[in-house]
């Protein structure tokens, strides 16, 4: 069974960098899937942040691309998110997810439990 688990600080100061890691078990991250981050501000809907492949190929939400870096560490079977220059509007529950990205089949299939990140001084 594929499982994903987010980890990282729950509190980040404004203007600093938010860093999260998603550990994957039950599947080698070096496989064919993409790996993504989705966030949900309190009381609001889901927002796709970006996706990364083991090859290093990335796709980012255009509204975040200037502040965003995603990477994969195959040796640790995990992938990471860094979002710089955060403000209160980045306060959200951050979810990691596995993304099916085959030629004729696409979608998010497995999700982590989510981690709340609050931006506050």
- Which residues of this protein are in contact with other proteins, per CB under 8 A? 34, 36, 38, 44-48, 51, 59, 61-62, 95, 100-101, 104-114
The distance of closest approach from Cβ of residue 109 to other proteins in the complex, given in angstroms and rounded to an integer, is: 5
Nearer to other proteins, 27 or 59 (CB): 59
The distance of closest approach from Cβ of residue 114 to other proteins in the complex, given in angstroms and rounded to an integer, is: 5
Beta bridge partners of 6: 22
Residue identified by tokens 């100061």 is 13
Burial track 30-43 (b if 16+ CB lie within 10 A, e otherwise)? eeebbbbbbbeeee
């Amino acid at each position: 069974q594929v499982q994903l688990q987010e980890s990282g600080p729950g509190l980040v100061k404004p203007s600093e960098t938010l860093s999260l890691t998603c550990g994957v078990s039950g599947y080698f991250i070096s496989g064919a899937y993409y790996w993504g981050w989705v966030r949900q501000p309190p009381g609001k809907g889901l927002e796709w942040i970006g996706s990364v492949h083991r090859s290093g190929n990335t796709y980012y939400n255009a509204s975040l691309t200037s502040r965003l870096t995603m990477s994969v560490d195959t040796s640790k079977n995990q992938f990471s998110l860094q979002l710089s220059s955060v403000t209160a509007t980045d306060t959200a529950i951050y979810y990691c997810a596995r993304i099916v990205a085959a030629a004729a089949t696409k979608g998010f299939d497995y999700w982590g439990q989510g981690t709340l990140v609050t931006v506050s001084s």
